[in-house]
Structure 1
């Protein structure tokens, strides 16, 4: 049996933390359900991003600024990036809605102290959409980076909940939302005041969902909950949904069916993607030199062609060829972005791309 990838244990820990977070959130008997959700989702995100860094060969340890070759250590172990530093590496732009959502919960976790124990349920009501977005963003990142077979959908169940409330019950919930302590209410208001409207309106920042009870005959082939694609609706149905959307949104995410080689690249397009991401010429010769120096895959004619670095490359038995991962492309872009890194990775001298003069608005490549 092949050895599991280096990142697998970290990814498994991340998924376990996310599942625990959801269980706590959905447990009505848990006194500090929301706080538990925030803490464990914090760990889930931290481990997920660290798994990506391990896979992509990103050094996420802290180095002593006084000694270039000395690691900072805590209890004898290298100090690694906390979630905020990891988040900035993953999303360099602070306008990204997923980053804005995660940053909100990082700051909120730092404020959740024992004096706010009575505010747990009020926080859950006020930030339910943000919490849902945090989980949906995690699921999207998890499956995009590590494949649909890692999806939380394979581990979580649909919760049973009350679909409708009486008008009196709805008013009671509205009154209860106002019991959130003033300092926490101010914290959320001030945080969102610094965000662009396009970010706060994005479902990756706050997820809004409107559920409607359907009165329909029982269908033995139907599931208890279903989603309808916007593109499949009539004009009248779209108008009705848009009217509902003033108070909520229903979001459907397509799930890719199993496809051989999904997300993998052959050498030529992989080299082209690397070149597009760096300021130097990067062709298939450079690509070949890079995998040879890193020993990403065996050389041609090796009796064990399947012994690859599984994080970066896969051997396809039917075609007797190799396919490369997006992680390897990202790794090469990071490494080859400087002249020193280019030389170290390929063994060749970096050659800047030819530039086109832009002195005239009518200039173009001939």
Structure 2
């Protein structure tokens, strides 16, 4: 397909430029926030790719409408469908492709709400990043033909093999730091919740094995070969499975759901059992305390719509049941501070009413 000049072609060219920019950023080893830049630009690339497809198939109709049937406007411009809506409207992605895109939409939202160095996360999600790009090119070709493929514009990124082990070791230590603990927990939780057939799919995460070619091959052969799984012999497939069994990084054991976690009512009961009658708390008090210390999102947190944005030392979002569960550490924190009168109803209600957060560090006791 060769598009003529027009809006579809302009949108498509923008989508391709976003993808190329994403790869350029990712392949620059000394670029700050390169993984963050890659994710942001690839989300834009996917969104524009869908919009080009919609414009070509249904016309200029990929916009939100209000209840009256009129287009929603932002600063005078029609509000276009976001990527999540585009995926739903398209409705033909495989489960693995959807899982990959959903992962990056959620991860981007979490990264946007934090002000920390995220590059060390890149090692953990390299396979997902690669699939995000491969899936983009695959869908680009499906929509508009092979003449728009990216393979002529991209090159295989060189790997610094001699220092790779050392670099990974440093990154692994950094991943244990408090600053990225929440992101790592989200990534592990998302991966472990996926069905095996989705996680194992190359459309969700590319699993690459770097093996030097030492056989006697033609000197004009490419240094890198990508082998089609469907073309492998049974013996080669068996050997491949043995290797992937060794290197596979997914946790396969099953855990008890929310062991030791507490519901809000249980938190209130346990706190009230330990404090004086005059200091007892209710559900509204607990809501004020959530807000005051940013333990979990509340309606008072303007612009905060990510339920996973919790202080994981005290609280976790239960996606299955769409509610929150709490750690015993949260009960201990409240009991100690209320008993010592560092926390009073006046303090937490004032914080909630005035929309002024409290500094958690000011209320830490006994190196908690």
Q: Shorter-chain TM-score category?
A: 0.5 to 0.7
Structure 1 residue aligned with 2:45: 44
Aligned length: 245
- For residue 63 of structure 1, the aligned residue among 62, 65, 74 is 65
**2:164 is aligned with 1:128:** no
Q: How far did 1:92 drift? A: 6.6
**Deviation readout 1:120-173 (Å, 9 max, x if unpaired):** 222101111111111111111111111111111011122222346676666555
Structure 2 residue aligned with 1:87: 87
Looking at structure 1, the residues matched to 101 and 207 of structure 2 have their Cα atoms a distance apart, in angstroms, of 17
Q: How does 1:1-366 map to 2 (within 5 A)?
A: 3-57=4-58, 59-65=61-67, 67-68=68-69, 70-91=70-91, 96-113=95-112, 115-118=114-117, 120-163=118-161, 171-172=169-170, 174-179=172-177, 181-216=180-215, 219-230=218-229, 232-247=231-246
- Please say if residues 64 and 72 of structure 2, whose CA atoms lie closer than 8 Å, have aligned partners that are also in contact: yes
TM-score by length of 1: 0.60
TM-score by length of 2: 0.60
**Tell me, which stretches of 5 or more residues in structure 2 are unaligned?**
249-368
Looking at structure 2, the residues matched to 111 and 2 of structure 1 have their Cα atoms a distance apart, in angstroms, of 37
SS at match of 1:160: coil
Structure 1 residue aligned with 2:346: none
- Please say if residues 101 and 134 of structure 1, whose CA atoms lie closer than 8 Å, have aligned partners that are also in contact: yes
Q: 1:229 to 1:248 in 2, by over 3 A?
A: farther
**Deviation readout 1:15-36 (Å, 9 max, x if unpaired):** 0000000011110110110010
**Deviation readout 1:59-114 (Å, 9 max, x if unpaired):** 2111221x23x221111111111111111112378x71111110111111111147
Q: How far did 1:188 drift? A: 2.0
- Please say if residues 96 and 204 of structure 2, whose CA atoms lie closer than 8 Å, have aligned partners that are also in contact: yes
Q: 1:9 to 1:167 in 2, by over 3 A?
A: closer
- Please say if residues 61 and 80 of structure 1, whose CA atoms lie closer than 8 Å, have aligned partners that are also in contact: yes
Structure 1 residue aligned with 2:306: none
Looking at structure 1, the residues matched to 162 and 232 of structure 2 have their Cα atoms a distance apart, in angstroms, of 25
Q: How far did 1:208 drift? A: 0.8
Q: 1:248 to 1:146 in 2, by over 3 A?
A: farther
Q: 1:48 to 1:219 in 2, by over 3 A?
A: same
- Please say if residues 8 and 53 of structure 2, whose CA atoms lie closer than 8 Å, have aligned partners that are also in contact: yes
Cα-Cα RMSD: 2.8
Name which of structure 1's ranges 157-166 and 32-41 shifts more when overlaid on structure 2. 157-166
- Please say if residues 25 and 31 of structure 2, whose CA atoms lie closer than 8 Å, have aligned partners that are also in contact: yes
- Please say if residues 32 and 117 of structure 1, whose CA atoms lie closer than 8 Å, have aligned partners that are also in contact: no
Looking at structure 1, the residues matched to 164 and 7 of structure 2 have their Cα atoms a distance apart, in angstroms, of 53
Looking at structure 1, the residues matched to 122 and 245 of structure 2 have their Cα atoms a distance apart, in angstroms, of 22
**Tell me, which stretches of 5 or more residues in structure 1 are unaligned?**
250-366
